Amino acid sequence: MDRRARDFRSDRRGGRKNGFLSAIAWVASAVTTAAAAVLVAALLVVVEAHRPGPAAGPGVQAVVIPRGAGAAQIARHLQEENVIRSALMFRVASVFYARNKSLKAGEYGVAPGASMRSVIEQIAAGRVILHPITVPEGLTSEMVVDILNASDVLSGDFVAAPPEGAILPETYKIARGADRAVLLKSMMAAHDEALDELWPKRARNLPFSTKEEAVILASIVEKETGLADERPRVAAVFVNRLRKGMRLESDPTIIYGVSKGRPLGRGITRSELDRVTPYNTYKIDGLPPTPIANPGRAAIAAVLNPPQTNELFFVADGTGGHQFAVTLAEHQRNVQRWREIERSRAQ
């Protein structure tokens, strides 16, 4: 073989080798460029995710994420609400900061300047705005469902009133869109739990023997006084009267027999006082057949463990509280003072 043939083959091998090396170099360069591009993009996302967002003050901005919304729809919605600057970056950032959790529907409170990362973590954790639904002590069940049915925070069909005294008055924290019927069941369950907790701790020799009777008496105590520190003392008066076989003679029971507990907007008339109803404790012995309102936990506790007193009477004192008395003569003097206050106010 001549020298020229050997040189030709050597050149061909060298060319293939050089081409292979060039390809490797090109691929390496492309990978390096792509990696650099990915790194730059990632850095941009990180920077955007951590810098203050565009949400302006002065207060928290409420944003509703609808049910069934996907990541793209959520991102667009947040951008339209001026919570984030870039829907695309939000979608990328959510892959890293949602921590494998889905973005959840609900109403969220976005603080002024909240970063994209904080918004993602808030929505992924489902930290929604909780709205207070307050049920004051002493409302009837019909009044309570009026509150629930009128609320624009709750959803679902209107609910009917449960039995009187079956709801625990309290402030309940509810997410927007919560179902009325579910909330009402929770209120009733809270009542049962409170009663089950307090009942075993009751005093001995109470003049009633069932949980239902305790709630009936507690509802009367609740309606008689709006002062928390008076509840135990009022409860003691009624317990003492029941022990002695005295009628309770409670004005709120008259009102319940007339209007089912709705405010009369006036004083009780003589005809209403003399009217015989199952609830008029001036006319019936013992307790009425049902509660006259929904008593709170404190009122239930007061009738289950009343203080030891000899007091049998009380009457308004003109300041929002009551004057208590052991004897009828003392009570009559207190009533006379109250009548004088009423007359002076009417002038």
Q: What pLDDT, on the 0 to 100 scale, is given for residue 26?
A: 56
Q: What pLDDT, on the 0 to 100 scale, is given for residue 275?
A: 93
Q: What pLDDT, on the 0 to 100 scale, is given for residue 14?
A: 56
Residue type, 130: L
pLDDT in tens, the chain (347 residues): 555 555 555 555 555 556 655 656 555 554 555 555 445 555 565 666 677 878 766 888 899 999 888 889 999 999 998 898 888 888 888 887 877 788 899 999 999 988 889 898 999 999 999 999 999 999 999 999 999 999 999 999 999 999 999 999 999 999 999 999 999 999 999 999 999 999 999 999 999 999 999 999 999 999 999 899 999 999 999 999 999 999 999 999 999 999 999 999 888 999 999 999 999 999 999 999 999 999 999 999 999 999 999 999 999 988 889 999 999 999 999 999 988 888 887 77
What is the Cα–Cα distance from 157 to 148, expressed in whole angstroms? Answer: 10
Q: Which CATH architecture has domain 61-125?
A: 2-Layer Sandwich (3.30)
What is the Cα–Cα distance from 49 to 21, expressed in whole angstroms? Answer: 41
Query: Residue 223 is encoded by which pair of tokens?
Result: 């309606």
Q: What pLDDT, on the 0 to 100 scale, is given for residue 36?
A: 52
Provide the residue ranges of all domains of the chain, joining segments of one domain with +.
61-125, 130-195, 205-346
Q: What pLDDT, on the 0 to 100 scale, is given for residue 22?
A: 60
Q: Please list the residues that pair with 110 across neighbouring strands.
A: 61
Q: What pLDDT, on the 0 to 100 scale, is given for residue 319?
A: 84
Q: What pLDDT, on the 0 to 100 scale, is given for residue 48?
A: 64
What pTM, to 2 d.p., does this model score? Answer: 0.81
DSSP letters spanning 30-97? HHHHHHHHHHHHHHHHHHHHHS--S---SSPEEEEE-TT--HHHHHHHHHHTTS-S-HHHHHHHHHHH
Q: What pLDDT, on the 0 to 100 scale, is given for residue 6?
A: 55
Among candidates 298, 335, 330, 297, which has minimal Cα distance to 315?
Answer: 335
Give the H/E segment covering residue 117: helix 116-125
